[in-house]
Structures are given as structure tokens and as C-alpha cells.
Amino acid sequence: MSNAPLSLEPRLEPRLESLLESPAFLHTLVDALGSPLNIVLPEQIAQNVERFRAVFRRHQLAGRVFFAHKANRSSALVRRLTTTEAALDAASLSELQHALGAGFHGERIMATGPKDPEFLWLAARSGATLNADGPGEIEEAAALVRAYDLPRLRVLLRLSEFETSGARTLSRRSRFGASVKSLDGVLDALERHQSALEPIGVGYHVDTTSLDEKATALEGCLRAMEELRIRGFQPRVVDVGGGFGVNYLAHAAQWDRYTTALTDAVMGRRPPMTWGGHGYGLRVESGTLKGSLSLYPAHRPIAGAAYLDALLARPAPSLGRPLGTLLLESLCDLYAEPGRALADQCGLSLGRVLEVRGTDAGEHLVRLAMNAGDVSLEEHGVLMDPVLVPRDGSADGSAADASGPVGVHLMGNLCLESDLVTRRTVRLPRLPCPGDVLAFPNTAGYCMDFSATSAQQQPVARKVAVHQEAGAWRWRLDEQYWPITYTGGHRA
């Protein structure tokens, strides 16, 4: 069997593709601002919002798309979103402050996740909606509203542990939200605190790729809405959370081939495909394959806005009619909180090649001026090849060395054995040279700044926002970006 490294080509939409075809521009940025460097594309996030809005229109649903800010810290992306129809999901005090400072009105913000008192206070003070994590938070919020004479706070109940009427499908346990079984008690609390809190609906965020599980949760929410109505509340919103996913790879066949070969390699039927025989969750015990692949399904035929579309078109597990129709008929507004899916194609991470070292085993180690925290694709289980951006500007770098496709291991800049930018052998079109840059596409969702640290005082990546003007790429530091032009003419 061939020992050639298998490709996992990234899926590139036109903006990201055009940026990667501009090596001189990318090298100028890395020369000026250092490595690692993160690039974000604010125009792309606006386009992604529009894709979600189109799904709402198709199902004739009113409602809102909240960007789950946790996916990326960029100011440019958040500021650009203020000029779209998007709202924002803030999961910490700093994210909330950032959103308010970017121009989001409190009314367009939802506070999610576990909260400290300061976060709760500012959310209430600024008129944000509280996505309540459980009964304790409801009590705390009501007490704050009364103690500080804050405006009545709109509250959405986050629910969990749904089941269909036949108890066939059960959604997984979560440390967040209140179990639907405890809904009665939560509604008692809301009744007691009516002067301080206004319940506007219910929601969920289930961390799964399964449409079945989400359909069960959504139907569970529709039932819970009935409970609220029976108690005399006037709920009007169902929030389907985030988790719509991203399709990272260009070719399904490459993904299938790769995962099959990885299983063969773990079984010893082909040479290792990873550093130290790492199995991404698979192992062999007494000749038998054990464990399961703990990888993100990098090729996802239905992801992002298309996933929401599929969910709304899906029949409710017990009621049998499409979930979108049931939402429409019960006059519910739909809220969604995509993070990763709105950040799809919105950025890339650049790392300069510092050293290329041959080994006795015949493999090459490529050391980068970045570390595993700077591009945490692997931490999120996303396997995807980087793109070589040659220093000499030739598309395939053929001027430097005509070695042809090679498999390399990518090492980070920390003195840690575990600091591997990728644990697998990565396929490049040729052996890189010091000074070349590797671009990791599509890192804006969680992979560019979620896990970055200043360990060993290595620099944390700076961030720039880029856009195209008259066919040329222009850039600004992320914090310098505002959605206005400096050419005298302002947006219509």
C-alpha cells in the first residue's frame, strides 16, 4: 500500500481563496506584524448572516441570529455585525462590554452561559436578554433587579434533558440549563418574580451534530412553551442555540479515505500517519481496535445555514409535522446562536517556517513561529491541511525546490514535547524553506484565539482585518477597524 501522505484539502470560498492567492500581501503582513498572525474577513461574516436570514425567510419565521462571540475575540467582526441584522450572544462580562463598545444596543444582546454577578448586573442594566442557565440564576437575577432598581429583565429559559413522548430519544446530559423535568419549579420561581423578570420563551444548546437530537430538543421546547402559556405567561421565542457546524474540507472522498487509512495505521496495517502513533481516540488492544475517533467530522455536507434549514424542515419526532411549520403556527419567533458557523471562512492563521530538519527516519520536522495554542485546529479535532505560501511568490514554490509533495510534522515554538501544531503527518506540495509561511485556513471559529496563551512569553498573534478595494487587498489592525470608509463617501 502507498505510503504517500493523504490530502485533506481545505474548503475555500472565493474571498479566502483570493487572499491565499496573494502571497506578497500575506508576506508583507507577517514581515510587519510578526508570526503568528491572524487575519479576519469582516465582509464574510456579513454574508454568513445573510445566509441564515435567508433560511428564516424561507420558513417565514421572524426572529434573530445571535453571533456567539466566544468563537472569536475580533473587534472587526463584531463591529461589522452591528451593521447587519445580526444580534450578539455574550458569554462573559468582557464580551458584553466589547459588544456594547462596538455599537450593539443592549436590546440586541443575549447573555448566555454561566454568569458572575457583574455580568448579570450589566446585562440587566443595558437591557440585554438573559438566557437563564437554571433556577439559581433566576433567583439571583430577580434579586439584582430589585436591589439596584434595574429595568424588568427579559428572560429565556435554557432547558436540557429532553425526551420524546415514547421516551425513545433522550438528549444528552448537560451541566447547563434546567432539566425539562424541573420546569414546574422554574415556572413557580418566575411567577414569584414577575415584577422583576419577563419570561419571553425557552431554548436549548445541545452540543451535538445529530439532527435527531436537536429535533427532540426543539419539540421539547414547543411543549414547554405550552406550559408557560398554561401558567398565564406570554412566551414568544424559541431559541435553538448554536452548533450548526462548518464543512472544513473540499472533498468528502479525501475525508473518507483519510479516516479509513488512519484506522489501518492504528491497526498496524500501514505505516503510522501521526507523530508517535497517536490514534485520535483509536487504539489497539490484543489485536482488536478499541475506542472511537474523537475528531470533528471535517467534511459535513449539511452545515451552517443549511443545517438550520434541514432542522426546520424535519418532522417533529412525536407531532410529525415540520418543526418550522409548528414554530410558525404557534407564532413563535426563532432565535439561533451560531458561533462556528457564522465565523466560517472568516479568517486564517499564518505561521512563518523557522527550520526544516531531516530525521533518520526520513521524515522532516518543520518548526513554525507559532504553537499549538495559536492554531488550535487539533484541539478541536479539526484535521485540515495548511496552505504553503512561498516566500518566492510562485504558486507551488517550484523555484525553491522541486521535491514534489511531502509529508511533514509541524512543530511549535515551545520547549514542550507536546507542542505539535499538528499531531499527524501533514501533506504539503513540496518541502518548505525557512521564510515560507504556512496558512491555516478557516480558523476564525474557535481555532485562532480561543486557546492562545503567552506561554514562554512567545508573542500572541496580532490580528488584522482585511477587505478588497478595487481588486486589491487592504488591511487594518483589528482594533482600528470600524465599518466606515475613509474615502469621503459613506455607506448608503
Closest CA to 21 of 395, 302, 326: 395
Alpha carbon distance 102, 100 (integer Å): 5
Which residue number, 39 or 88, has a Cβ lying nearer to ligand PLP?
A: 88
Q: Does 341 bind ligand PLP (CB under 6 A)?
A: yes
The residue (of 338 and 390) whose beta carbon lies closer to ligand PLP is 338
Stretch that binds ligand PLP, among 46-54, 187-195, 242-250, 360-368 (CB under 6 A): 242-250
The one among 5, 89, 317, 413 contacting ligand PLP by CB under 6 A: 89
Site size for ligand PLP, by CB under 6 A?
A: 15
User: Among residues 113 and 127, whose Cβ is nearest to ligand PLP?
Assistant: 113
What is the rounded (10 degree) CA torsion for 477, 478, 479, 485? 80
| 3-state SS assignment for residue 108 | helix
Phi and psi of 484, rounded to 5°? Answer: -130, 160
The distance of closest approach from Cβ of residue 160 to ligand PLP in the complex, given in angstroms and rounded to an integer, is 11
CB-nearer residue toward ligand PLP: 124 or 342: 342
| Calpha distance 99→287 (Å, rounded) | 54
Measure the CA–CA gap between 485 and 492, rounded to whole angstroms.
11
**Contact region with ligand PLP (CB under 6 A), list: 235-243, 391-399, 403-411, 418-426:** 235-243
Site for ligand PLP in 156-215 (CB under 6 A): 205
Query: For residue 125, what is its C-alpha cell?
Result: 442594566
Cis peptide preceding 36, ω within 30 of 0: yes
Chain-centre distance of CA 352, in angstroms?
Answer: 25
**Which CB atom, from 239 or from 419, has the smaller least distance to ligand PLP?**
239
DSSP secondary structure letter of residue 9: P
In 10 A of CB 299, how many CB atoms?
A: 21
Site string for ligand PLP, 20-59 (x = CB under 6 A): ----------------------------------------
Contact with ligand PLP (CB under 6 A) among 42, 220, 241, 441 = 241
- Binding ligand PLP by CB under 6 A: which of 112, 164, 259, 345? 112
Among positions 338, 351, 373, 390, the unique one binding ligand PLP when judged by CB under 6 A:
338
Amino acid at 167: A
Residues whose CB falls within 8 Å of the CB of residue 240, separated by 6 or more in sequence, listed in order: 203, 204, 214, 217, 218, 221, 308, 311, 334, 335, 336, 337
3-state secondary structure of 85: coil
User: Is residue 239 within the footprint of ligand PLP (CB under 6 A)?
Assistant: no
User: Per CB under 6 A, which region of 9-17, 189-197, 239-247, 289-297 contacts ligand PLP?
Assistant: 239-247
Of residues 129 and 371, the one with the C-beta less far from ligand PLP:
129
Residues near ligand PLP (CB under 6 A) are 68, 71, 89, 112-113, 205, 241-244, 337-341
